[in-house]
């Protein structure tokens, strides 16, 4: 699903955000990306979502070499990635339903289809009863779950999450992680950037650790294959 | 990509018929959505539309007035006539003899004879100097032959020849073609027309900038929304659409306001103009905005609105990228 081959990112200021990063994330695999702030977690996610382009090396997502995706194709490329942000990025002048429906409207789904899919996504995150509410009236955890519903409503094969539990207490964080586990179990690749070491140490998933832009640790193999195996079995 | 995820992806994509239908439904929705957005702040919308309306009303109104003037003067060309002022020594019978002579010339349609007495009477009646003229010992006015030249393809040349022929008659004191002033009027109107065009172009540019600036502010206000749209795969066209429709509405409202302004102005001056034409004892109907002019006004205002928003969106949408 994701393959980094010696990818580097240097910003125009001269700052090296990523240096020679190589790793591979299989289809349906779930992994954590960790490291101190400024270690390059966000930069790495940005390269995957084509918010930035790598300066050197290659990034291949969904069998597409991102260097070869022209600017006007970027929107179509992003429709295959569900992105979840620490600050939710919800639109506060629209209801929960309208927020979650947005990716489907953009992709041009029919009205009936949208209704079905939005309710399914909201049901999945346990917010079906709040579809008519405005995000501002929801708690932080609920807002984050609306953001997750919006990311999965399009059924993307890949989910990226940038500090999804950053503002949540441990209990809510565990709940959110549970959701990601569920997605991974149905074959969705999930990459979660977080510095919540306490949380991820309890979970049996692969951990990629960044430090000053370099990949210094990859617990990969075992946990990774395990996840893949369980996915393979489900298939 | 594994088979499972490929299948999943295909399932999650709408088919082409759905896409086309959704596209049109989406346009329809955005059409009214942008109207709804504008109606949420009616005062600022009205202010912007007023600015556009006034800017468009000026050239439109001038255009209508100029049209009227052209139409009014258009009838005058056919009334081109040569006035031959006869020497005072020419007696009435001689003048009448001359009248019937000229009547037989090939380039002449008709000849009217105005005797010195008739001329004085007419002058007294129309000039308002009636009483003052009574103080004069003798009639200062000459007798006049008013000649209507035959108008054909090269009437300018024949009329000039005719004028020359009349000038060398020994009874003639002075012969003049009463068309010079129409020519001058036409020349002046040409200049005015050019001026209206330039004014229209400048004010059109102003409308473009007003709409552009308004849309620029709207884009700034919706920056967050644009970022979110870009993050979840909204194309430029998708993001641009509501702003373009907003520009469309501004243009349309501006056009309607301009139409109202011009119509009311014409309505309010139609009465004094009627009075004036009555004083000139002429029939003149003030033309209001024709359907064609109205059509062009609306098309122009809508296009300017669209173009203004297109400029703003094109410039500023690219600057807003998710960080």
Which CATH number covers residue B101? 3.30.70.3040
Same structural domain for residues B206 and B309?
A: yes
What does the pLDDT average to over A184-208?
Answer: 88
Please judge whether B11 and A1 are an interchain contact, meaning their C-beta atoms are less than 8 angstroms apart. Answer: no
Are B265 and B278 contacting, i.e. CB atoms less than 8 angstroms apart? no
Residue B8 in any domain: the answer is: no
Q: Kindly state whether residues B239 and B168 are assigned to the same domain.
A: no
Q: Domain ends where: B178, B200, B221?
A: B178
> Which residue from B2, B9, B234 is facing A106, i.e. has the nearest CB?
B234
How confident is the model at residue B65, as a pLDDT? Answer: 87
Q: Rounded to an integer, what distance in angstroms lies between the CA atom of residue B238 and that of residue B317?
A: 11
Q: Which domain holds residue B159?
A: 81-178
> Is residue B216 located within the same domain as residue B304?
yes
Task: Tell me the C-alpha distance between A76 and A78, whole Å.
Answer: 5
Question: Domain check: are B113 and B199 in the same one?
Answer: no
Q: Are residues B204 and B62 in the same domain?
A: yes
pLDDT along chain B (323 residues), means of 10: 45 77 86 88 92 93 86 67 85 86 84 84 74 75 84 67 84 80 79 91 93 92 90 91 94 95 91 82 75 93 95 87 76
If asked whether residues B62 and B200 sit together in one domain, one would say yes
Q: Does B284 fall in a domain?
A: yes
DSSP A155: -
The answer to whether residues B255 and B273 belong to one domain is: yes
The confidence score (pLDDT) of residue B75 equals 62
Contact between chains at B14 and A72 (C-beta distance less than 8 A): no
pLDDT at A156 over 90: yes
Q: Could you tell me which residues come within 8 angstroms of residue A179 by beta carbon, excluding any fewer than 6 positions away?
A: A124, A125, A145, A148
Residues of chain A in contact with residue B17, where contact means CB-CB under 8 angstroms, are: none
In a mutational test of the B interface, the residue from A27, A108, A114, A185 whose CB has the highest number of chain B CBs within 10 Å is A108
Q: Which of A76, A98, A81, A87 is nearest to A47 (CA)?
A: A81
B172/B145 Cα distance (integer angstroms): 10
- CA–CA min distance B300, chain A (Å): 31
Domains of chain A, each with CATH number or no CATH: 2-80+156-234 (3.40.50.300), 92-149 (no CATH)
pLDDT, tens digit (0-9, with 9 covering 90-100), for A16-73: 889 999 999 998 899 999 988 888 898 999 999 999 999 999 999 998 999 999 988 9
| CB pairs < 8 Å spanning A and B | 93
CB atoms within 10 A of CB A211: 14
The answer to whether the beta carbons of residues B207 and B252 sit under 8 Å apart is no
Cβ–Cβ of B236/A89 closer than 8 Å? Answer: no
Residue A161 backbone phi and psi in degrees, to 5: -130, 125
In the sheet that holds B172-177, the strands lie side by side as B108-114, B144-149, B82-86, B172-177
Q: Rounded to a whole number, what is the distance in Å from the CA of A203 to chain B's nearest CA?
A: 24
What's the longest Cα–Cα distance across chain A?
50
Q: Write phi, then psi, for A169 (nearest 5 degrees).
A: -75, 165
Q: Looking at residue A200, what is its pLDDT?
A: 84
d(CA A200, CA A223): 12
**Which pLDDT score is estimated for B33?**
87
Nearest residue in A to B23, CA atom: A108
Host H or E run for residue B145: strand B144-149
Q: Please report the pLDDT score of residue B100 as a whole number.
A: 86
* Residue A87, pLDDT score: 85
Q: Is the pTM of this model over 0.80?
A: no
Residues B92, B154 within the same domain = yes
Q: How confident is the model at residue A102 (pLDDT cuts 50, 70, 90)?
A: very high
Residue B33 host element (H or E)? helix B16-40
Interface confidence (ipTM) of the complex: 0.86
Q: Produce one character per residue of A36-63: b if its CB has 16 or more CB atoms within 10 Å, e if not.
A: eeebbbbbbbbbbbbbbebbebebbbbe
Residues of B with CB under 8 A from a CB of A: 1-2, 4-5, 8-9, 11-14, 18-19, 21-23, 25-26, 224-225, 227-236, 238, 321-323
Check residue B166 and give its pLDDT: 84
Cα gap A232→A26, rounded to integer Å: 11
At A191 the pLDDT is 94
Report which secondary-structure segment, H or E, holds A64. Answer: strand A64-65
- Whether B237 and B308 map to the same domain: the answer is yes
Give the domain-ending residue among B178, B196, B214. B178
Q: What are phi and psi of B233, to 5 degrees?
A: 95, 20
> Which member of A110, A154, A187 has the closest CB to residue B4?
A187
Q: Which of B23, B26, B232 sits opposite A103 (nearest CB)?
A: B232
Residue A75 and residue B4: Cβ atoms within 8 Å?
no
Residues B301 and B265 in one domain: yes
Mark yes or no for CB contact A79/B233 under 8 Å.
yes
Asked if the Cβ–Cβ distance from A107 to B25 is below 8 Å, we say: no
B33 and B164 together in one domain = no
Give A106-118 pLDDT, tens digit per residue: 988 888 889 999 9
Residue A213 gets the label, from left (phi > 0), alpha (psi -120 to 50) or beta, of left
CB half-sphere exposure, A22, CA atoms < 13 A: 4
pLDDT score for B156 = 66
Q: At which of B136, B160, B178 does a domain end?
A: B178
């Amino acid at each position: 699903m994701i393959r980094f081959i010696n990818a580097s990112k240097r910003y125009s200021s001269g700052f090296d955000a990523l240096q020679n990063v190589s790793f591979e994330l299989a289809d349906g695999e779930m992994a954590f990306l960790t490291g101190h702030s400024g270690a390059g977690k966000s930069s790495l996610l940005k390269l995957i979502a084509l918010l930035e382009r790598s300066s050197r090396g290659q990034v291949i997502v969904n069998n597409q070499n991102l260097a070869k995706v022209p600017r006007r194709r970027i929107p179509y490329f992003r429709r295959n990635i569900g992105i979840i942000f620490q600050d939710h990025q919800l639109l506060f002048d629209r209801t929960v339903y309208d927020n979650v429906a947005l990716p489907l409207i953009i992709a041009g789904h029919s009205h009936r289809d949208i209704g079905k899919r939005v309710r399914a996504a909201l049901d999945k995150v346990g917010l079906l009863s709040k579809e008519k509410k405005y995000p501002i009236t929801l708690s932080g955890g609920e807002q984050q779950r609306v953001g997750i519903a919006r990311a999965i409503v399009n059924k993307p094969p890949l989910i990226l999450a940038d500090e999804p539990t950053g503002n949540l207490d441990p209990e809510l964080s565990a709940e959110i992680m549970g959701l990601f586990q569920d997605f991974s179990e149905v074959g969705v690749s999930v990459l979660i950037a977080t510095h919540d070491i306490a949380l991820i140490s309890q979970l049996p998933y692969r951990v990629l650790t960044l430090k000053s832009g370099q990949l210094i640790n990859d617990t990969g193999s075992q946990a990774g294959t395990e996840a893949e195996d369980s996915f393979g079995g489900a298939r | 990509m594994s088979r499972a995820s490929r299948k999943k992806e295909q399932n999650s994509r709408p088919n082409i018929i759905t896409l086309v239908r959704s596209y049109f439904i989406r346009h329809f929705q955005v059409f009214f959505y942008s109207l709804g957005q504008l109606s949420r702040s009616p005062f600022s919308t009205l202010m912007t539309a007023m600015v556009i309306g006034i800017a468009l009303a000026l050239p439109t109104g001038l255009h209508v007035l100029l049209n009227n003037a052209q139409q009014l003067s258009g009838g005058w060309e056919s009334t081109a006539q040569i006035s031959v002022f006869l020497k005072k020594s020419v007696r009435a019978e001689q003048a009448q003899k001359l009248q019937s002579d000229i009547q037989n010339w090939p380039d002449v349609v008709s000849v009217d004879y105005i005797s010195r007495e008739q001329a004085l009477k007419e002058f007294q009646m129309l000039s308002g100097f009636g009483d003052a003229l009574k103080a004069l010992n003798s009639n200062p006015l000459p007798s006049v032959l008013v000649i209507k030249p035959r108008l054909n393809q090269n009437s300018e040349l024949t009329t000039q020849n005719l004028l020359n022929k009349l000038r060398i008659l020994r009874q003639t004191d002075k012969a003049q073609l009463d068309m010079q002033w129409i020519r001058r009027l036409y020349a002046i109107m040409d200049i005015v027309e050019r001026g209206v065009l330039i004014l229209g172009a400048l004010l059109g540019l102003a409308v473009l900038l007003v709409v552009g600036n308004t849309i620029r502010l709207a884009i700034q206000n919706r920056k967050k929304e644009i970022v979110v749209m870009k993050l979840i795969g909204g194309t430029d066209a998708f993001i641009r659409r509501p702003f373009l429709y907003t520009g469309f509405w501004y243009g349309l409202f501006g056009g309607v306001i301009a139409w109202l302004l011009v119509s009311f102005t014409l309505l309010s001056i139609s009465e004094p103009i009627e009075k004036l034409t009555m004083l000139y004892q002429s029939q003149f109907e003030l033309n209001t905005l024709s359907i064609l002019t109205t059509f062009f006004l609306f098309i122009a205002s809508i296009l300017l609105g669209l173009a203004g928003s297109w400029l703003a969106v094109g410039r500023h949408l690219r600057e807003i990228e998710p960080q």
